[in-house]
Amino acid sequence: MTMKSPLTLLISTLLLASPMAMAAPVAKQLAGPPSEFAEMAEADLSKAAVESKSALIPITLEASKEGGWHWDTLLPVEGNNLRLAVFTGAADDWNLSMRSPNQRFAQPLSTMAAEQAETLFGMGEEEYPADFYSFENIASGEWAFSIDAASATQREGFVLVQSESPHRLLSAQVERNQMRGQRIAFTAQALTLDTGFAAQKNQPTWMTHSLMRVTGPDGESWTELMFDDGLHNDGRAGDGQFGGDFLAQSSGDYTVQVIAQGFTSDGAPVLRTAEHYLPVLESSVNLASQFATSSILSDTRLGVQLALEDRQDQSQYRVIAEVWGHNERGQEQAIAWIGGMVEAKGGQLELGLDARWIGLAGVSQDFELRNVRIEDPNHFIPLARAEKITLDMPQMPRAAFTRVNQIDEAMRMGERPAELAQGTTDSPAFNNDATAGETRGSGSGLLLVHGYCSKGPWSAVAGHFSGESIFLDLNQNRSHNDFAIRIRNFGNHLNSYGIVASSQGGAASLHLYTYYWSGLDRASGGRLIQSVGTPYNGTSLAGNLAVLGRVFGQGCGRNSNLTYSGAAAWLAGIPSWARRKVNFYTTQFRDRRFRYDYCHIVTDLLLRDPDDGTTEFSRGILAGAAFRGHKMGWCHTDNMRWPAQTRDFSRNSEMNANAAR
């Protein structure tokens, strides 16, 4: 293999932006057996809770009587070792000092700290400067922390504080009802780990009270109290779980910081915060009727139509529904789930159903749709739901009366478009309805796909791969859906391809294979999708970056798909047969005995070990996919403590050798 020239990368970029990339993708018509109903149901958001071991405290300097600018607070410390990260933005004249509970005078942090460093905190190229300080063997209690500045160049900032302690905060969104006019609820619960920080212990809660700091789309902030009274989505009164909500009066981006305070059994103060980012949408779609219609499309296919109250033609939605019926004895029987990315046309949404699912279930009458949900395609927020809808099916294709022996691709994905149906890898590529003037791809290859807000990690290691094309959409923020379509558009220059992806690119590639026909469906010979460091279940950094961005400005921007709750909602529409096509790798820092080890000195204050500086190991696991290995000594990106995971020649060679093309 040889190193690729800059011309190769230029051609890749031009292909991404070329007119042929603009052809509309053809969506698959998804389905699966009743055994998959549970995995396709709405996500249980309690399992997507943020687990926090730190507190992010906002800073606002005020004019002092002595001249200049000042801010102070009391930092709760409940462990012997304390770590701080101060986000100063553009300020270069902030003087930081701290005083212990037993001291009369404060000292500069620079003289007190056992370790200090200047660093950047973030994901990809979405980074904010931070000053890091660590302190060892210090007294517990409330430490006076203060900032003095000569000017108001930067009045706002944050201090991130973490004690070496087993006390955690678990905070979760109650329901994914993020629409204007809804009350959006969160919970807060204390958690204490054992002395090895490995397992939960059933100890009395350390939390005494909790509240939410909500910031709306206009930048205005307010607080909402949280209660343990059994009346605020908090379980039973007095059970240690707190709950609260707020009214989303307008659509747009919200951040919610859940703040919990309390004391350890020894009386030391505890402060934890958990940061959530959530977009709130307008309610743009409503079902017009509790009846759905059907039509015969072929000997095996049915169309299932849902009428919309408002004609939202050209709008796209993710739709998922269960199909039920009754047999000749009148017994109800589950048939299949159906769904996919659906475009509204003529005031209705049409789903596809292979009639062989009906024959397999042995039903013939009284059909209905259950647990119907229509979601926004970029945030996967339910815009409309229906528990039951009567499905009118006066006629059925012949296949509905035949019992098949096995479930094939057409039953799960719908019928392949004609251009994709047959042929060798040398035949014309599927071109998504062959838009006039569109060039058809040829040959097979391997796409190398980067992640969120990326500078392109694969360019430096192109020589580790053969037959590769490097996808470049640098320093951008894309939803999984938008990202997937861009990958598909870029890949149209090939007849078939496999994918090797890093970070969010792995999730976007899985989204592409699940929902749209592409060159992935023509690939053969090995692993279809391979990923390294992909936060399939989200990363807590997404919420923290959204909060920091309120003050310091957004670089690439907020991404709801990378939050824990957003990732859980997305995965609730990814079936097991699609997950099985993914082969994933994870990495972490090298864990050396008696050493404080990490990939990134600041993100380590937020992530649960082990992690790669962005993706926690537990959040990088994709259930139902093939786990290909975990390595120490490799981090998410460059400029961390260990080399970037994409630079691992051994793993890259393995992925190259095993890739489908």
Model confidence over 246-289: pLDDT tens digits?
999 999 999 999 999 999 988 999 999 999 999 999 987 899 99
Mean pLDDT (the chain, rounded):
90
Higher-pLDDT residue of 14 and 34 is: 34
- 3-state helix/strand/coil string of 4-61: CCHHHHHHHHHHHHCHHHHCCCCECCEEECHHHCCCCCCCCHHHHCEEECCEEEEEEC
pLDDT band at 432 (very low <50, low <70, confident <90, very high): very low
Identify the CA nearest to 56 among candidates 72, 39, 75: 75
H/E run at residue 653: helix 649-658
- Let me know the angle formed at the C-alpha of 280 by 275 and 286, rounded to the nearest 5 degrees: 145
User: Helices 504-515 and 564-571: crossing angle, nearest 10°?
Assistant: 20
User: What is the tens place of the pLDDT at every residue in 181-193?
Assistant: 999 999 999 999 8
Rounded CA gap, 53 and 57, in Å?
13
pLDDT for residue 311 is more than 70: no
Residue 14 in this model has a pLDDT that exceeds 60: no
pLDDT at residue 549, rounded to an integer: 85
Tell me the average pLDDT across 514-527.
97
Residue 5 has pLDDT above 90, yes or no: no
Report the pLDDT value the prediction gives residue 244, as an integer from 0 to 100. 98
Q: Which one has a higher pLDDT value, 436 or 387?
A: 387
Lowest mean pLDDT among 147-156, 502-511, 547-556, 565-574: 547-556
Task: Look at residue 338 in the predicted model and tell me its pLDDT.
Answer: 98
Q: Is the pLDDT at 602 greater than 80, yes or no?
A: yes
Give 84's pLDDT tier (boundaries 50, 70, 90).
Answer: very high
Q: Which strand (E) or helix (H) includes residue 103? A: none
At 11, the pLDDT band (50, 70, 90 cuts) reads: very low
Q: Is 310 helix (H, G, I), strand (E, B) or coil?
A: coil
Strand arrangement of the beta sheet that strand 167-173 belongs to:
50-52, 167-173, 183-192, 241-247
User: Quick check: bond before 610 cis, omega within 30?
Assistant: yes
Beta strands 291-296 and 382-391, pairing class: parallel
C-alpha to C-alpha distances, 455 to 59, 118, 254, 542, 546, nearest whole angstrom:
31, 22, 28, 18, 20
Task: Please say if the pLDDT value at position 561 is more than 90.
Answer: yes
pLDDT in tens, 209-230: 999 999 999 999 999 999 999 9
The predicted structure's pLDDT at residue 196: 55
Give the pTM: 0.93
Mapping DSSP to helix (H, G, I), strand (E, B) and coil, where does residue 84 land? strand
Residue 283 pLDDT: 81
3-class DSSP state for residue 459?
Answer: helix
Read off the pLDDT band of 174 (50, 70, 90).
Answer: very high
End-to-end CA distance of the chain: 17
Q: What is the pLDDT of residue 227?
A: 97
For the residues 353-359, what does the mean pLDDT come to? 97
| Predicted local distance difference test score (pLDDT) of residue 12 | 47
Does the pLDDT at position 406 exceed 90? yes
Question: Which candidate, 608, 533, 568, 566, places its Cα nearest to that of 276?
Answer: 566
The model's confidence at residue 438, banded by pLDDT at 50, 70 and 90, is very low
The fraction of the chain above a pLDDT of 70, given in percent, is 91
Burial class (CB within 10 angstroms; exposed 0-12, middle 13-18, buried 19+) of 526: middle
DSSP per-residue codes, 576-633: HHHHTTEEEEEEE----TTS---SSTTGGGTSPSSB-SSSBGGGS--TTSEEEEEEES
pLDDT over 50 (residue 423)? no
How confident is the model at residue 440, as a pLDDT?
55
- Please state, in angstroms and rounded to a whole number, the distance separating the CA atoms of residues 186 and 627: 33
Q: At residue 364, does pLDDT exceed 50?
A: yes
- Are 453 and 123 in contact by the 8 Å Cβ rule? The answer is yes
| Closest by Cα among 279, 283, 128 to 216 | 279
The residue among 57, 76, 52 whose CA lies nearest residue 261 is: 76
Per-residue pLDDT reduced to its tens digit, 44-60: 999 999 999 999 999 99
Q: Where are the beta strands (DSSP E) in 207-315?
A: 207-215, 221-226, 241-247, 252-263, 269-280, 291-296, 301-307
CA distance 334 to 625: 26
pLDDT of residue 420: 75
Q: Are 365 and 325 in contact (CB under 8 A)?
A: yes
